[in-house]
Structure 1
Amino acid sequence: MKSKDHKIILFDGVCNLCNGAVTFIIKRDKKDVFKFAALQSEIGRELTSKFNIDTSKVDSIILIDGEKHYEKSSAALRIAKYLSGAYPLLFGFMVVPKFIRNAVYDYIAKNRYKWFGKKESCMIPTAELKSKFL
């Protein structure tokens, strides 16, 4: 898969929950669909600027798929669609109205630092995972 064919996941690089989600996704990304970048990184800032994403409103996980981007619960459910195992079944929750899905998502996102903690700096990928990051 060429780099431009990868879907890009932007994540909060200092959030323990988000870093855990990235590790979770990498382990289940058997078809090498995703590349990752922290929102705080140079490429993260470039992509949020390109897609006019207001990081004061969306600051956890964003999926960039070609010329489209997905935020909040839509991003999470679209990511699940490409994972190994039974996770693609979660995509069925797309039938739930977005305002309900995002209310749940926002509640978790709002409390993520309190519940899961925060790092002083963005995670540094191990040598074998470096190729997964932009």
Structure 2
Amino acid sequence: MATEAAPVIVFDGVCLLCSRWVDFILRHDRDGRFRLAAMQGDHGSSLLRAHGLSPDDPTSFLLVQDGHGYTDTDAIARVLGQLGRGWALVGGLLRAVPKFLRDPAYRWVARHRYRLFGRREQCRVPDAVHAARFLD
């Protein structure tokens, strides 16, 4: 199970695409190494501010690991790299795409995520099985 020093993924708790990403993490992170924090919660918004991102208008994905904040596709590739060999390969392929191409594409999707994928009326509430993985 994850500890307090575990890496933290900050996600948009009302975004349906982000909820699917969280489901993916919960399914593939079998060792429970990642903790999760909605940007709408105290932990998530504090982490965003601490790493220079606005909790009111985040267009970046944030992974906080070993005291460092990783954003956008670097964060995604880093998470994938820790989910096992198959996903590590996908993360490596993502990193092979030049950053000047992959990050703007990611940010475009992030800016339009509600229109493209929808949104919840309220923040995602974890089920009892996974509640310990969420910080708020």
- TM-score normalised per structure 1: 0.89
Is it true that 1:88 corresponds to 2:88 in the alignment? Answer: yes
Which range moved further: 27-36 or 103-112?
103-112
Partner of 1:10: 10
Compute the TM-score of the two structures, normalised by the length of structure 2: 0.88
Q: Once the 2 structures are TM-superposed, how far is the Cα of residue 12 of structure 1 from its aligned partner?
A: 0.6
- Structure 1 stretches of 4+ moved >4 Å: none
Check the 8 A contact 1:30/1:84 in 2, yes or no.
no
1:54 alignment partner in structure 2: 54
Q: State the match for 2:116 in structure 1.
A: 115
Of the structure 1 ranges 117-126 and 46-55, higher mean CA displacement relative to structure 2 is found in 46-55
Percent identity (aligned): 33
Match of 1:99 in 2: 100
Distance 2:100 2:56 in 1: 18
Residue 112 of structure 2: SS of its match in structure 1? helix
Question: CA distance change for structure 1 residues 2 and 86 in 2, over 3 Å: closer, same or farther?
Answer: closer
Distance 2:45 2:7 in 1: 17
Indicate conservation of the 8 Å contact 1:11/1:60, yes or no: no
- Write the letter of the residue equivalent to 1:113: Y
Q: Which runs of 5+ in 2 are unaligned?
A: none
**Matches of 1:38 and 1:127 in 2, distance apart?**
17
Equivalent residues of 1:18, 1:60 under 8 A apart = no
**Compared with structure 1, are the counterparts of its residues 2 and 116 closer, same or farther at alpha carbon in structure 2 (3 Å cutoff)?**
closer
